[in-house]
Amino acid sequence: EAMAASCSFRSAVRAPPPPRGLAGARRAVRCCSSAAPTGASTSKLVLEVKERLEREHPGLPTGRSGRDDDEMILWFLKDRKFAVDEAVSKLAKAIKWRQDFRVSELSEESVKGLYQTGKAYVHHSFDINGRPVLVVVAAKHFPSKQDPLENEKLCAFLVEKALRNLPMGTDNILGIFDLRGFGVENGDLQFLKFLIDVFYYYYPKRLGEVLFVDAPFVFQPMWQLVKPLLKQYASLVRFCDAETVRKEYFTEETVPPDFRR
């Protein structure tokens, strides 16, 4: 259950071409990059990362989503294309964030104030690709009136909730930003930066696609500021209208209430 992305957010790990010669083979063994390992070799890498985390970051918590969580370690190894050093570094950062942010303590009750505004929610149905759906209603977001930390807590709570709903065989979620009615007062670059960090550093490869729905002209300056921050993530973003959401991502029975005719 690992918040961010190895820039492609695709669940498949593409292996680079095998290195040539004995020196290259040795490099491949050291870096674990000659191919995506399977079975016993994968277990060995997970154990190596676990031992490194215990040795180098003994203060990090253990247990679910902790430094000895095999499933989380494997996910971050895949994200880093099985490069152990990179996986250890990224895992340490993510687990420390979870500890400092007290992610495990977040609950519907703890975020109730903002949750009840309806500004963001996890839809009760999956999209047509079987992905959990996180909806953000931008017109209900007022950064000048709402506590930034509480907004971040609501975000983390909802991402956790969406990931808990992942069906077997599905690795990522669909994000929908409903931009109908978006105004200057709803713009929040600070929060968008937080969101980008969340899905790059803390929940890698967990965001499969992002829909910006019916973006008004006033949103364009915000997009020009955000797009460079997204880097490769920009390829995950699709601008579309509400009709596209209805027709291409849901059935009549599963479409979110905000997008029904």
39-101 placed in CATH 1.10.8: yes
Cβ neighbors of 22 (< 8 A, separation 6 or more) are: none
The domain locations on the chain are 39-101, 110-259
Q: Give CA–CA dist 159/122, Å, rounded.
A: 8
Structure tokens at 195: 């969101």
CATH architecture under which domain 110-259 falls = 3-Layer(aba) Sandwich (3.40)
Residue 65, pLDDT score: 94
The total of other beta-carbon atoms located within 10 Å of residue 84's CB is 17
Residue 194 burial (10 A CB sphere; 0-12, 13-18, 19+): middle
Per-residue tens of pLDDT for the chain, all 261 residues: 444 333 333 333 333 444 444 344 333 334 434 456 766 789 999 999 999 999 999 999 999 999 999 999 999 999 999 999 999 999 999 999 999 999 999 999 999 999 999 999 999 999 999 999 999 999 999 999 999 999 999 999 999 999 999 999 999 999 999 999 999 999 999 999 999 999 999 999 999 999 999 999 999 999 999 999 988 888 999 999 999 999 999 999 999 999 988
Residue 261, pLDDT score: 81
Residue 183, pLDDT score: 93
CA atoms within 13 A on the CB side of 65: 19
- CA 86 centroid distance within chain: 18
Residue 100 burial (10 A CB sphere; 0-12, 13-18, 19+): exposed
